[in-house]
């Protein structure tokens, strides 16, 4: 394995929730990353953020690791979940809540419901 792949593998496996994104959870640097980080932050999910703009090897490596061409990428308990469109759909359908429940990830259910109410 390459160094980048080893670092990605270690990060994904040692954190319950990881978002590979452009920018950081407090200062996203693209709209798609901002949307996913915003959902996670609003729902009170404790997640690790990895700024792919800070490391070209990680920026390309995460695409190879997941076989997914775009950033952001969300991982929950070591599993790739998806990018912005998938996370948005899962949030609105309640599937993200179910995934967090199934995986034992803490989040604010009321906040999740408010997101759905605001987008109904």
**Is residue 1 scored above 80 in pLDDT?**
no
- pLDDT tens readout for residues 11-62: 999 999 999 999 999 999 999 999 999 999 999 999 999 999 999 999 999 9
Task: Report d(CA 47, CA 20) in Å as an integer.
Answer: 10
Task: Report d(CA 85, CA 7) in Å as an integer.
Answer: 26
| Cis peptide bond N-terminal to 72, omega within 30 | yes
- Report the predicted TM-score, pTM, of the whole model to 2 decimal places: 0.96
- pLDDT tens readout for residues 58-87: 999 999 999 999 999 999 999 999 999 999
**Alpha-helical regions (H) of the chain:** 3-14, 31-42, 56-66, 84-93, 95-103, 109-118
Backbone angles phi, psi at 82, to 5 degrees: 155, -175
pLDDT of residue 30: 96
Q: Tell me whether residue 30 is annotated as binding.
A: yes
Residue from 30, 17, 4, 9 nearest 84 by CA: 30
pLDDT of residue 99: 98
pLDDT of residue 120: 85
Task: Report d(CA 85, CA 25) in Å as an integer.
Answer: 18
Structural domains of the chain, with CATH = 3-114 (3.40.30.10)
């Amino acid at each position: 394995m390459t160094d980048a792949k080893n670092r990605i593998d270690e990060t994904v496996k040692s954190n319950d929730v990881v978002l590979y994104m452009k920018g950081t959870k407090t200062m996203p640097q693209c709209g798609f990353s901002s949307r996913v980080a915003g959902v996670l932050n609003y729902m009170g999910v404790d997640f690790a953020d990895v700024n792919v703009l800070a490391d070209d090897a990680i920026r390309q490596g995460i695409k190879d690791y997941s076989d997914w061409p775009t950033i952001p990428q969300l991982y929950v308990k070591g599993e790739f979940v998806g990018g912005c469109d998938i996370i948005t759909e899962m949030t609105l359908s309640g599937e993200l809540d179910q995934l967090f429940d199934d995986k034992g990830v803490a989040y604010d259910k009321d906040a999740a419901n408010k997101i759905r109410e605001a987008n109904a």
